[in-house]
Homo-oligomer: A and B are copies of this chain.
Amino acid sequence: MRHAALIGLIVLLAGATVACAGDDESGLDAAVSAIADERGLSEADIEAALKTFVPSGGRDEYLMFASGGHAGQVFVIGIPSMRLLKSIAVFTPESWQGYGVGGVQTEETLAAGFYNDEEIKWGDTHHPALSETAGDYDGQFLFINEKANGRVAMIDLRDFETKQIVKNPFSNIDHGGTFVTPDTEYIIEGPQYAHPLGGEYAPLSEYDDKYRGYVMFWKFDREAGRIDESQSFGMELPPYWQDLCDVGKKVSAGWVFCGSLNSERDTGGIEAGNPPFEVGVSQNDMDYLHVMNWERAAEVAQSAPKVNGYPLISLDTAVAEDLLFLVPEPKSPHGSDVTPGGEYVIVAGKLDPHITAYSFEKIKAAIDSGVGESDPYGVRILPFDDVMEAQIEVGLGPLHTQFDGDGYGYTSLFLDNGVAKWQMGPPYHDEWKLVEVVPTQYNVGHIAAAEGDTVSPDGRYLVSLNKWATDRFNVVGPLLPQNLQLVDLTGEHMEVIYDMAMGVGEPHYAQIIKADKLDAWEVYPEVGWDPHQQAVDPNAPVSGQERVERNGDTVEIWMTATRSHFNPENIEINEGDHVIWHITNIERAYDATHGFALSGYNVGLSLEPGETITVEFDAENSGVFAFYCTEFCSALHLEMMGHLLVRPE
């Protein structure tokens, strides 16, 4: 109860000064002490509380975009308040946003990611990437990959909605994505588990010959706000398990670096008496960092043969054209992260207590000098000693590294439960050395620092995305929330100042952008807006022209929504009719959103001010079905309803 004594003393001080200080001050001191005492807050707690509290109506300084892990979504979190401002539906249908629940626009976006006839209605989102200009976040777009089925999605940050999903044509799984080139020319989707080309069948006995990694380079058309599939291409890689990537910047612009594991090319088989994968893929002391020249690859791809509709640069061509090199990296590597100036690639090996810094200058020199043996696929392996710049022992289970603007790196320690801060050598500081480690609870995976993977990191805040929570929160059953801990980087020492319970998913990676870089719409620019096209829908319902038209067995409806009614309110059709139903929210007021629920049919929409959505279905259920507004819009919200009457045949 040391703090209690301390607090008591403050009360005395406050009391002793009432005469000269007046009531306000004693009021504050007394309140602070009384509340802290009652709530058992320590001195550090009081400071943390003040550092993270955003007053009613206040704004957060930064926004964090976190993957939702196997929730398949993206989460938007305010920093320093750590409030969940929004979940953005990406690969998993979500009805609050009306995403993939009857609206044809979002249903089509999702369908683009299906696997053959299999409707894949969930995702495992891993690494969000904000669009960049000259290596800095520009706040315009967000990309994210989906590991379970090898897909990439694009979110437009004008309205924070998913506009596009593309499917990897060469592999049905990925991991090392998404990472963007300095001006977002390409979005890189790195692989993970090796596959036969296109995910076709080949027995594991043919692993070395038939299984490969495939890295995708998705071309981005910023004007169109779309990934341009016609200009995208892939490159074949050896059947190692390529892991996380990072893109070169400044001095290393034009290159991309992906770590890997399983250089053993192990195929597991515990059921056959083999060692399990976790043993088989961890035998070698060194795996390989993949060093790729994406700028040159983009040129070579112009003349590469198309496979499954996309140019694919073969492994032989990649070798012949000097597009791919390997660098040994210590034991079971995970993260590979490029320093703000692009001078170094920082690699962390899960089973090695060091971070290893590779000099891009030395990598270039080694490439030009022609040194090095080849791997079984003819890929040149640059000698470790020729390209390694420095190593620092940071602790057990190092995974991922972020940076601040003062020449320091921060590396997550999965096994040691902490974040290590270390000093970079030239040109940042004179030597490479460990500074300190702050404990985090527990088993931290990725970390995200404010703009910490750009050419100009902000420092200030770091978030530790912890994988285990155990004793951190109230017990809410066997499935626990994640624990995202906010670390203050502004003091003499790193300090954990907030534990955020994340009870809606398991974020992997996250990026933190200065809030003032975003310029999202409050309402859609014009009435009749189709968010999928980001343009007015020429067929959008218009106020005063609402109607129902029958053409044979097809009934087309043009409906408007405003406080507090739909127009039309009652619609009578026949069982079996094909229904095309357009709805426009004609409101212009910020936050004047209307929902649309149709009973008996799987239709749940969210119509933001100005938005037009189209629903299409066959009226196979006869009866009386109410439709109503699901977003509490006004005092007469309950009255905002109507009837779809379906006459039986």
Residue A494, interface by CB 8 Å:
no
Known A55-B45, A70-B96, A569-B271; judge A478-B350 contact (CB<8 A).
Answer: no
Q: Which of chain A's residues 496-526 have a Cβ closer than 8 Å to chain B?
A: 496, 498-506, 508, 515, 518, 520-524
Residue A143, interface by CB 8 Å:
no
Residue A246, interface by CB 8 Å:
no
Closest B residue by C-beta to A195: B624
With a cutoff of 8 Å between Cβ atoms, the chain B residues found around residue A522 in the complex are 475, 478
The answer to whether B599 and A148 touch across the interface, beta carbons within 8 angstroms, is yes
Query: Quick check: which of A5-13, A305-313, A338-346, A422-430 contacts chain B, the rest being far away?
Result: A5-13
With a cutoff of 8 Å between Cβ atoms, the chain B residues found around residue A55 in the complex are 40-42, 45, 48
Minimum CB–CB distance for A144 against chain B, Å: 15
The answer to whether B53 and A504 touch across the interface, beta carbons within 8 angstroms, is no
The answer to whether B270 and A567 touch across the interface, beta carbons within 8 angstroms, is yes
Residue A591, interface by CB 8 Å:
yes
The answer to whether B32 and A86 touch across the interface, beta carbons within 8 angstroms, is no
Known A78-B474, A504-B87; judge A496-B56 contact (CB<8 A).
Answer: yes
The answer to whether B521 and A477 touch across the interface, beta carbons within 8 angstroms, is yes
Residue A387, interface by CB 8 Å:
no
Closest B residue by C-beta to A546: B271
Q: Which of chain A's residues 566-586 have a Cβ closer than 8 Å to chain B?
A: 567-570, 572
Question: How far, in whole Å, are A459 and B471 apart by their CA atoms in the complex?
Answer: 28
With a cutoff of 8 Å between Cβ atoms, the chain B residues found around residue A278 in the complex are 564-565, 636, 639-640
Residue A476, interface by CB 8 Å:
yes
Chain A facing B: main interface SS:
loop
Minimum CB–CB distance for A90 against chain B, Å: 11
Known A13-B21, A477-B161; judge A45-B41 contact (CB<8 A).
Answer: no
Minimum CB–CB distance for A280 against chain B, Å: 8
With a cutoff of 8 Å between Cβ atoms, the chain B residues found around residue A51 in the complex are 35, 39
Per-residue contact bits, chain A 159-201, to B (CB 8 Å; 1 contact, 0 not): 1110000000000110100000000000000001101101111
Closest B residue by C-beta to A483: B56
The answer to whether A172 and B625 touch across the interface, beta carbons within 8 angstroms, is yes
With a cutoff of 8 Å between Cβ atoms, the chain B residues found around residue A106 in the complex are none
Q: How many copies does the complex hold?
A: 2
Minimum CB–CB distance for A39 against chain B, Å: 7
Residue A632, interface by CB 8 Å:
yes
The answer to whether B604 and A124 touch across the interface, beta carbons within 8 angstroms, is yes
The answer to whether B515 and A474 touch across the interface, beta carbons within 8 angstroms, is yes
Interface centre among A53, A602, A621 (most CB of B within 10 A): A53
Minimum CB–CB distance for A73 against chain B, Å: 9
Question: How far, in whole Å, are A339 and B241 apart by their CA atoms in the complex?
Answer: 64
Question: How far, in whole Å, are A116 and B282 apart by their CA atoms in the complex?
Answer: 53
Closest B residue by C-beta to A55: B45
Minimum CB–CB distance for A276 against chain B, Å: 4
Residue A377, interface by CB 8 Å:
no
Residue A329, interface by CB 8 Å:
no
With a cutoff of 8 Å between Cβ atoms, the chain B residues found around residue A83 in the complex are 473, 500-501, 503
Closest B residue by C-beta to A334: B638
Residue A630, interface by CB 8 Å:
yes
Of all A-B residue pairs in the complex, the 9 with the closest CB atoms, nearest first, are A271-B568, A49-B53, A160-B477, A95-B122, A478-B608, A86-B503, A276-B565, A71-B96, A278-B639
